[in-house]
């Protein structure tokens, strides 16, 4: 019997629907080649959900996500909320509530430098060449989810940052396991010289390290890490960090690859998993056909890995590499490019469809593909 998977599709706002459309095109192409079925179930989230259902995360959306095998997510966010600091309800609340509701505690963000794009990065070639790292970002705790308050006169505000040992252990185990399978180095990024929560992270990681004797553990303060990431990114293999530091350093790390439009992510939970590009809704690009769909398409590949369709996932990554090497790229990577979001999606889908069974060989020396 043909295997079939139910996929919740939450396209969201801005360029979300445009990049998700190309991802589904590529997923459909690969599912035909590798003979499995994907059934898509659309649901609302973000600003479109506020517009159509008066809330950023309708109950129906949660229900769809809980009864499907995986969630494909585009992006949320709209300038009309970004610039209204008094908005009672915001699109981002939808994404945060969904992550919490689905228990998506580990957000995995692989970063690598493609040889063909080495000159698209503002960083020097010898610094970034062969960079291959992965960020494990804690996703459902820390300052994002702590108690918030604002004083009656509106002149003071606070966001509580708190972590429990269990929350840290859950993601730390995943990060240690990934490091063990990769280059056997784990860097905990924290601010243990100042923050009590960071000192808890360090204690927990120190206590787990004995269970992973093959993994070298390094500790780095986040301010130094922000600098080291662009001074010498090759020193990193697996980065483990808390929610907000992970958010910030992953956007910074995207500069290594040449565009944030290349970086996928997987959010892993106890019952389900969600796959989304690390970028946002890029509202300035909405409807213009200039958004890079590769981050979303590679998130689709991570989704197939999660579903156990590893050959199909690898076929997508090969097709992306092929497309990059041919220079079929959106303007974020090639300034004068006339290739649109759809052109890039079509090219990747065609490569997948006509793939002969031979892995495409890049002329670069990096040792691993994007997955953990
Ligand atoms: N996971 C998410 O849904 C998510 C993530 C980040 C930001 N947001 C939201 O998105 C909105 C815009 O936020 P922002 O401008 O800070 O971040 P953004 O990631 O949307 O865009 C920042 C810049 O990155 C580039 N960029 C982003 N995606 C790209 C793509 N696919 N192709 C080419 N270039 C791309 C553009 O130069 C853009 O100006 C806000 O409302 C924010 O809250 C949502
Ligand atoms: C939109 C926002 C809530 C989100 C985050 O901070 O987690 C985004 O920046 C991301 O990286 O997914
Ligand atoms: Mg972010």
Distance 56 CA to ligand 3 centre (A): 18
Pair 287, 249 in one domain: no
Pair 88, 131 in one domain: no
Listed in order, strand segments (DSSP E) in the chain are 3-12, 36-42, 70-75, 106-112, 132-138, 148-150, 157-159, 185-190, 216-221, 238-241, 266-268, 273-275
Interval 318-340: pLDDT, tens: 999 999 999 999 999 999 999 99
Is the distance from the beta carbon of residue 233 to the nearest atom of ligand 1 less than 6 Å?
no
Pair 58, 97 in one domain: yes
Pair 176, 250 in one domain: yes
Q: Is there a domain that residue 29 lies in?
A: yes
Q: Is there a domain that residue 367 lies in?
A: no
The two three-digit tokens of residue 14, written as one number:
């801005």
SS3 136: strand
Q: Is there a domain that residue 210 lies in?
A: yes
Pair 226, 126 in one domain: yes
For every one of its 372 residues, what pLDDT tens digit does the chain have, with 9 covering 90 and above? 899 999 999 999 999 999 999 999 999 999 998 999 999 999 999 999 999 999 999 999 999 999 999 999 999 999 999 988 888 899 999 999 999 999 999 999 999 999 999 999 999 999 999 999 999 999 999 999 999 999 999 999 999 999 999 999 999 999 999 999 999 999 999 999 999 999 999 999 999 999 999 999 999 999 999 999 999 999 999 999 999 999 999 999 999 999 999 999 999 998 899 999 999 999 999 999 999 999 999 999 999 999 999 999 999 999 999 999 999 999 999 999 999 999 999 999 999 987 645 444 444 333 333 333
Is the distance from the beta carbon of residue 313 to the nearest atom of ligand 2 less than 6 Å?
no
191 is catalytic: yes
Interval 57-74: pLDDT, tens: 999 999 999 999 999 999
Structure confidence at residue 256 (pLDDT): 97
Q: Using only C-alpha atoms, what is the Rg of the chain?
A: 20
ipTM at complex level:
0.99
Element (H, E) at 306: helix 294-306
How many structural domains are present in the chain?
2
To the question of whether residue 251 is assigned a binding role by annotation, the answer is: yes
Pair 81, 139 in one domain: no
163 is catalytic: no
Cβ neighbours for 37, distance < 8 A, ≥ 6 positions apart: 2, 3, 4, 5, 31
* Catalytic residue selected from 114, 144, 212, 339: 144
Ligand 2 atom 9 nearest Cα: 247
Q: Is there a domain that residue 198 lies in?
A: yes
251 is catalytic: yes
Pair 247, 351 in one domain: no
Is the distance from the beta carbon of residue 190 to the nearest atom of ligand 2 less than 6 Å?
no
Q: Where are the alpha helices (DSSP H) in 5-152?
A: 16-34, 47-53, 59-67, 79-82, 91-101, 125-128
- Environment class of 274 (CB within 10 Å of its CB; exposed 0-12, middle 13-18, buried 19+): buried
Listed in order, strand segments (DSSP E) in 114-265 are 132-138, 148-150, 157-159, 185-190, 216-221, 238-241
**Dihedral sign, Cα of residue 345, residue 347, residue 353, residue 356:** negative
To the question of whether residue 199 is assigned a binding role by annotation, the answer is: no
Distance 79 CA to ligand 1 centre (A): 11
Pair 126, 106 in one domain: no
Q: Is there a domain that residue 80 lies in?
A: yes
* Catalytic residue selected from 247, 305, 318, 332: 247
Pair 249, 349 in one domain: no
Structure confidence at residue 360 (pLDDT): 46
To the question of whether residue 223 is assigned a binding role by annotation, the answer is: yes
Q: Is there a domain that residue 156 lies in?
A: no
Block residue for tokens 């939450």 = 10
Residues 296 and 261: their CA atoms lie apart, in Å, by 8
362 is catalytic: no
84 is catalytic: no
Q: Which ligand 2 atom sits closest to the C-alpha of 247?
A: 11
Is the distance from the beta carbon of residue 291 to the nearest atom of ligand 1 less than 6 Å?
yes
* Catalytic residue selected from 21, 191, 234, 286: 191
Cα separations in angstroms, 76 against 286, 297, 311: 12, 17, 30
Pair 26, 143 in one domain: no
To the question of whether residue 203 is assigned a binding role by annotation, the answer is: no
Indicate the residue among 205, 226, 257 that finishes a domain.
Answer: 257
What pTM was computed for the model?
A: 0.95
Indicate the residue among 200, 224, 257 that finishes a domain.
Answer: 257
Q: Which domain holds residue 337?
A: 1-110+271-356
Q: Which ligand 1 atom sits closest to the C-alpha of 78?
A: 41
**Dihedral sign, Cα of residue 181, residue 254, residue 168, residue 220:** positive
Pair 10, 59 in one domain: yes
Pair 64, 138 in one domain: no
Cβ atoms within 10 Å of 147's Cβ, excluding its own: 8
In our burial notation (b when 16+ CB lie closer than 10 A, e otherwise), range 94-103 reads: bbbbbbbebe
Q: Is there a domain that residue 35 lies in?
A: yes
Q: Is there a domain that residue 336 lies in?
A: yes
């Amino acid at each position: 019997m043909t295997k079939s998977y139910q996929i919740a599709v939450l396209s969201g706002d801005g360029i979300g629907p445009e990049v998700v459309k190309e991802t589904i095109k590529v997923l459909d192409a690969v599912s035909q080649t590798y003979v499995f079925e994907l059934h898509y179930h659309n649901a609302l989230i973000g600003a479109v959900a506020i517009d159509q259902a008066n809330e950023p995360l309708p109950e129906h959306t949660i229900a769809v996500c809980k009864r499907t095998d995986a969630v494909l997510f585009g992006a949320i966010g709209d300038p009309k909320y970004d610039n209204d600091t008094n908005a009672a309800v915001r699109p981002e609340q939808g994404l945060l509530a969904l992550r919490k509701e689905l228990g998506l505690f580990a957000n995995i963000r692989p970063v690598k430098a493609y040889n063909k794009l080495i000159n698209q990065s503002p960083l020097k070639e010898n610094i970034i060449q062969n960079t291959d790292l992965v960020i494990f970002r804690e996703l459902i705790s820390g300052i994002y989810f702590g108690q918030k308050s604002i004083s009656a006169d509106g002149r003071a505000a606070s966001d509580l940052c708190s972590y429990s040992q269990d929350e840290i252990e859950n993601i730390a185990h995943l990060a240690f396991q990934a490091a063990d399978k990769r280059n056997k180095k784990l860097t905990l990024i924290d601010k243990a010289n100042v923050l009590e929560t960071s000192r808890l992270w360090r204690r927990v990681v120190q206590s787990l390290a004995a269970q992973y004797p093959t993994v070298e553990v390094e500790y780095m303060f986040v301010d130094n890490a922000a600098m080291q990431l662009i001074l010498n990114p090759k020193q990193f293999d697996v980065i483990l960090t808390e929610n907000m530091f992970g958010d910030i350093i992953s956007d910074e790390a995207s500069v290594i690859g040449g565009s944030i439009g290349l970086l996928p992510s997987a959010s892993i939970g106890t019952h389900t998993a969600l796959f989304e590009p690390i970028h946002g809704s890029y509202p300035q690009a909405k409807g213009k056909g200039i958004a890079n769909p590769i981050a979303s398409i590679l998130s689709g590949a991570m989704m197939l890995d999660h579903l156990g369709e590893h050959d199909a996932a690898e076929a997508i990554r090969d097709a992306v590499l092929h497309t990059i090497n041919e220079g079929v790229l959106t303007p974020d990577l090639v300034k004068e490019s006339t290739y649109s979001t759809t052109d890039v999606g079509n090219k990747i889908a065609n490569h997948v469809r006509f793939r002969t069974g031979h892995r495409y060989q890049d002329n670069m020396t990096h040792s691993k593909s994007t997955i953990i």
